Amino acid sequence: MSFGFQPVVATALAGIAGILIVASVLIALLRKRLPEALRTELVQRVKSWWVMAAVFAAAILVGDVVSLVCFALLSFLALKEYLSLIPTRRADRRVIFWAYLAIPVQFTMIGLGWYGVFIIFVPVYVFLLLPFRMVLAGETANFVRAVGTLQWGMMAMVFAIGHLAYLLVLPDEVNPSVGSVGLVLYLVFLTQFNDVLQFVWGKLLGRRKVVPQVSPGKTVAGLVGGVATTIVLGWALGPWLTPMNWWQSLIAGAIIGVSGFAGDVTISALKRDLGVKDTGSLLPGHGGMLDRVDSLIFTAPLFFHYMWFLYYSPTAQGLL
């Protein structure tokens, strides 16, 4: 892992700070023209973005152990919010303990760089352990539902988010100018900015809904405009922050744009099924942690395996 203020990383973080400064200034200038409710929401959102950007910068710059602990905490908070929303059985309390215990085990294996174990621990071993532990509790009512909801939560909140953390332990030599930190910056920035771009394009040009029964605010114009802009940003930033060339960066931008939308509406369907607007109140203006990482649940594993296939697998490195 590469840590510290490399010139490229410092410039990228300064660019993110610049975007937040511009957003803060625009809101201040337009405060009298905006409805009070909208102004309050925007102010809360930007303040939360400042906090999240500061925490993210510290997480990727302070050191390897601190970074992995921060990502493990992110996974824990997302899983905790999820389990606080879905119906659970009294008999499953000890099973949920084992689900939480899987988080430090998973992120320890990430820190050790054990790709072969990381990639099967949750999908195989945890997948088999949790239902068996439920059986030992002796409760068969709603067994299938309990197993399914818990397994989905583990795959989304622990396994999928774990791919974001694993980007940090990939070999720096493949991306010598920035190191593995550049991959995380690229993924997180494009994923979060894609959400903003789809919202902006939808507000400007959106009329036709994409999935009105799931997320009425999502429009075709927002989806197309957001993905197209994310592709352009991916093309521009890819050769700078990652080892990808221009055409590989275009594909990466498309993967992040489309899968980010898929993650967003999937969690929207979850919230609609449960009858909640937000998954929590941890982040004012945004909702809960799960509201903020919904897109990353889809973009992280897809981007990780795209990079793994291109540059980091034994086949890509000519070891096989």
Average pLDDT over every residue of 165-191: 90
Has residue 1 got a pLDDT over 70?
no
The predicted model gives 118-132 an average pLDDT of 96
Cβ atoms within 10 Å, residue 128: 10
- Give how far the C-alpha of residue 304 lies from the chain's centroid of Cα atoms, to the nearest Å: 12
Most confident segment among 17-21, 55-59, 61-65, 142-146: 142-146
Q: Report pLDDT for 124.
A: 97
Q: What's phi and psi for 283, nearest 5 deg?
A: -115, 100
Q: Which residue has the tokens 């957001």?
A: 226
Of all residues in the chain, what percent carry a pLDDT higher than 70?
Answer: 93
Q: Residue 92, Cβ neighbours under 10 Å: how many?
A: 23
DSSP assignment letter at 280: -
Residue with tokens 């990353």: 296
pLDDT at 35 > cutoff 90: no
pLDDT tier at 157, thresholds 50, 70, 90 = very high
Q: Quick one: CA dihedral 68, 74, 77, 78, positive or negative?
A: negative
pLDDT given at position 117: 95
Give the three-state DSSP class for 218: coil
**How high is the mean pLDDT of the chain?**
87
Decide if 235 contacts 246 (C-beta within 8 A): yes
Question: Residue 294 pLDDT more than 70?
Answer: yes
Local confidence band at 285 (pLDDT 50, 70, 90 cut-offs): low
Q: How confident is the model at residue 300 (pLDDT cuts 50, 70, 90)?
A: very high
Answer whether residue 121 shows pLDDT above 90: yes
Secondary structure (3-state) at 206: coil
Q: What is the rounded average pLDDT of the residues 1-23?
A: 75
**For residue range 129-155, what is the model confidence (pLDDT) as tens digits?**
999 999 998 888 889 999 999 999 999
Tell me: the pLDDT tens digits for 62-98? Answer: 777 888 999 999 999 999 999 988 888 888 888 999 9
Confidence of residue 320 (pLDDT cuts 50, 70, 90): low
Q: Return phi, psi of residue 219, to 5°.
A: -120, 165
Burial of 93 by CB count in 10 Å (0-12 exposed, 13-18 middle, 19+ buried)? exposed
CA pair distance 231, 194, nearest whole angstrom:
9
Q: Kind and range of the H or E element at 55?
A: helix 36-61
Q: What is the pLDDT of residue 247?
A: 95
Give yes or no for residue 3 having a pLDDT over 60: no
| pLDDT reported for residue 150 | 94
Q: What is the per-residue pLDDT for 126?
A: 96
DSSP-assigned letter for residue 307: H
pLDDT of residue 280: 67
